[in-house]
Amino acid sequence: MLERLFQLNAHNTNVRTELLAGVTTFLTMAYILFVNPSILGETGMDKGAVFVATCLAAAFGSAVMGLIANYPIALAPGMGLNAFFTYTVVMGMGHTWQVALGAVFLSACLFFLLSIFKIREWIINSIPLELRSAIAAGIGLFLALIALQNAGIVAANPATMVGLGDLSSPAALLAILGFFLIIGMEALRITGAVLISILVVTGLSIALGVSEFGGVVSMPPSLAPTFMQLDIAGALDVGLISVIFAFLFVDLFDNSGTLIAVAKKAGLMRKDGHLPKMGRALIADSTAALGGSLLGTSTTTSYIESAAGVSAGGRTGLTAIVVAVLFLFALFFAPLAGSVPAFATAPALLFVAVLMASGMAEIEWSDITVAAPVVITALAMPLTYSIATGIAFGFITWVAAKTLAGRFRELNGMLVALAIFCVIKLALF
């Protein structure tokens, strides 16, 4: 049955290798079980319900990817997207988390339609690679700021807006230790470095009496507080159009980049650069995002950590199915997730920020019409505390720079239209 479903022989793999690859991928991305409830919980959402929604969304998304596309790619609520959900849409713009879930649902519907009608390639090709790299780097810097705040390493300052926090506090010291642990283990290629760091910092915190121990295993909490609680009508407000498009674009770029990177590493990409079953993979991703919004979590997307499973030999959707099963098993560890303090997940956020900022290496810094929009995009996200604003600044600056430099021909209609829309949005809403 497994051979018929996943064509193991054709992909030069076997059940044992796929199982090992699935476990490896799960260990590298399981940190989301602790980070996502911590971030979304700040909106007022029930953390227990968010934990269950995270497990179910990851299991559903990974299973759909494995069965529909037969790719060794796992999915879960995306980092950066959950921060945008909490700190920009809810805490920054003042919308309820129900409305934010509605925006996630609508963006997933748009993503699904783009995948069905194959418009995705046109949109992605319309956005310059440098601008896409800047968006990823900006989200990384945004996550870094959140991480440093959660750890108490940076704090509000009336004179400079941001200043150094109390580095002698247990939270700051444990967070710093956690980050150094991740860097050391990653350098030594130890599988599950982020997860191990979270558990070590949590254990030390409990042992020192800094935080409380809530247990390890229990029956899963109720999903009722978040299940089907999205407010689609509220999300249709004209002021949320940019939010919906921000969810869409970030997921679109993130997902496409992840699919290409992991597929290339797995040897699934053809020599001409074409990725077979790309459409199926995108449909799986958008379906997972739809399901996640109904369950009660931010956008579900493909994880670059899937590359760890590919390195372990994963080549088919069986790897993703194994990850799905493990996320279902994780449902019974809600008390452990509830015991993890925010400063224990801060190192994970900071590490993800490091990975996302690496995209800046692809920038042509000698071209000022490229360098200026890239820096503006990346800096605007943490400094305005808004991913959507950073994307808007990036589109506007790119079009303005190219136009004023007499290089209007380097622009396309899609980019100009987006820049005009961003100007109107910033001016009126």
Q: Residue 386: what pLDDT?
A: 79
Range of the domain at 94: 2-428
Terminal Cα-to-Cα distance of the chain (whole angstroms): 55
Cα(60)–Cα(293) distance, rounded to whole angstroms? 12
Cα(74)–Cα(176) distance, rounded to whole angstroms? 29
Could you tell me which residues come within 8 angstroms of residue 149 by beta carbon, excluding any fewer than 6 positions away?
Answer: 155
Over 90: is that where the pLDDT of 117 sits? no
pLDDT per residue as tens digits for the range 40-82: 999 999 999 999 999 999 999 999 999 998 889 999 998 888 9
pTM: 0.84
Domain count, the chain: 1
Over 90: is that where the pLDDT of 278 sits? no
**Weakest-pLDDT range from 13-17, 305-309, 419-423:** 305-309
Residue 96, Cβ density class (10 Å: 0-12 exposed, 13-18 middle, ≥19 buried) = middle
Q: Residue 47: what pLDDT?
A: 93
Burial annotation 162-193 (CB, 10 A radius, 16+ → b, else e): eeebeeeebbbbbbbebbebbbebeeeeebbb
Q: Residue 271: what pLDDT?
A: 63
Helix axes 32-40, 47-64, angle to 10 degrees: 130
Residue 238, Cβ density class (10 Å: 0-12 exposed, 13-18 middle, ≥19 buried) = exposed
Cα(255)–Cα(348) distance, rounded to whole angstroms? 20
Q: 189-193: which pairs have CB atoms within 8 A and are 24 or more residues apart?
A: 191/24, 191/27, 191/28, 191/308, 192/27, 192/28, 192/30, 193/28
**DSSP class per residue in 288-328:** HHHHHHHHT-S-EEE-TTHHHHHHTT--SHHHHHHHHHHHH
pLDDT per residue as tens digits for the range 210-264: 998 988 889 999 999 999 999 999 898 877 887 888 888 778 777 777 777 777 7
pLDDT band at 272 (very low <50, low <70, confident <90, very high): low
Q: What Cα–Cα distance (Å) separates residue 191 from each residue in 21, 56, 92, 276, 308?
A: 11, 23, 36, 29, 8
Pairing of strands 161-164, 154-157: antiparallel
Q: Residue 216: what pLDDT?
A: 87
pLDDT per residue as tens digits for the range 165-193: 999 999 999 999 999 999 999 999 888 88
Over 80: is that where the pLDDT of 121 sits? no
Q: Residue 273: what pLDDT?
A: 56
Cα(122)–Cα(120) distance, rounded to whole angstroms? 5
Over 80: is that where the pLDDT of 274 sits? no
Over 60: is that where the pLDDT of 402 sits? yes
Burial annotation 80-91 (CB, 10 A radius, 16+ → b, else e): bbbbbbbbbbbe
* Geometric angle at alpha carbon 151, from 354 and 251, rounded to 5°: 45
Which has more pLDDT, 86 or 264?
86
Cα(360)–Cα(53) distance, rounded to whole angstroms? 33
pLDDT per residue as tens digits for the range 333-358: 989 888 989 899 899 889 888 888 88
Which residue has tokens 């071209």? 367
Q: Residue 119: what pLDDT?
A: 76
Which residue has tokens 């159009």? 241
Which residue has tokens 């239209």? 417
* Range 391-396 average pLDDT: 90
Q: Residue 6: what pLDDT?
A: 83
Cα(288)–Cα(89) distance, rounded to whole angstroms? 21
Burial annotation 386-415 (CB, 10 A radius, 16+ → b, else e): bbbbbbbbbbbbbbebbeeeeeeeebeeeb
- 166: enclosing H helix or E strand: none
Answer for the pair 392, 422: CB distance below 8 angstroms, yes or no: yes
Name the average pLDDT for the chain: 88
Highest averaged pLDDT of the listed ranges 19-23, 24-28, 170-174, 264-268 = 170-174
Over 80: is that where the pLDDT of 118 sits? no
Which has more pLDDT, 385 or 211?
211
